[in-house]
Amino acid sequence: MCTGRVDLSHVIRAFTNGKDGVLIGGCHLGDCHYDTGGNYHAAHMVELCKKLLGFVGIDPRRLRIAQMSAGEGLRFVQTVNDFSSQIKELGPLGEGEGITPEQLTERFEALNRLLPNVRLVERERLRVRFDTAEKYAEYFNSPDVERLLKDLVGDKLAVSLILTQLAKSASNAAELAEALGMSTSEVARHIGNSAKHGLVRYNEDDKRFRLAKAV
Residue 36's pLDDT is 73
Longest dimension (CA), the chain: 69
Residue 215's pLDDT is 41
Task: Give percent above pLDDT 70 in the chain.
Answer: 98
For residue range 56-81, what is the model confidence (pLDDT) as tens digits? 999 999 999 999 888 888 999 999 99
Q: Is the pLDDT of residue 175 over 90?
A: yes
63-67 and 22-26: which strand pairing?
Answer: parallel
Q: What does the alpha-carbon distance between residue 24 and residue 12 come to, in Å, rounded to a whole number?
A: 13
Cβ–Cβ < 8 Å for 200, 191: yes
Report the DSSP beta bridge partners of residue 171: 209
Q: What does the alpha-carbon distance between residue 67 and residue 75 come to, in Å, rounded to a whole number?
A: 10
Write down the pTM of the prediction: 0.89
The three-state secondary structure class of 115 is helix
Name the residue among 146, 153, 151, 174 with its Cα closest to residue 110.
153
Q: What does the alpha-carbon distance between residue 164 and residue 215 come to, in Å, rounded to a whole number?
A: 11
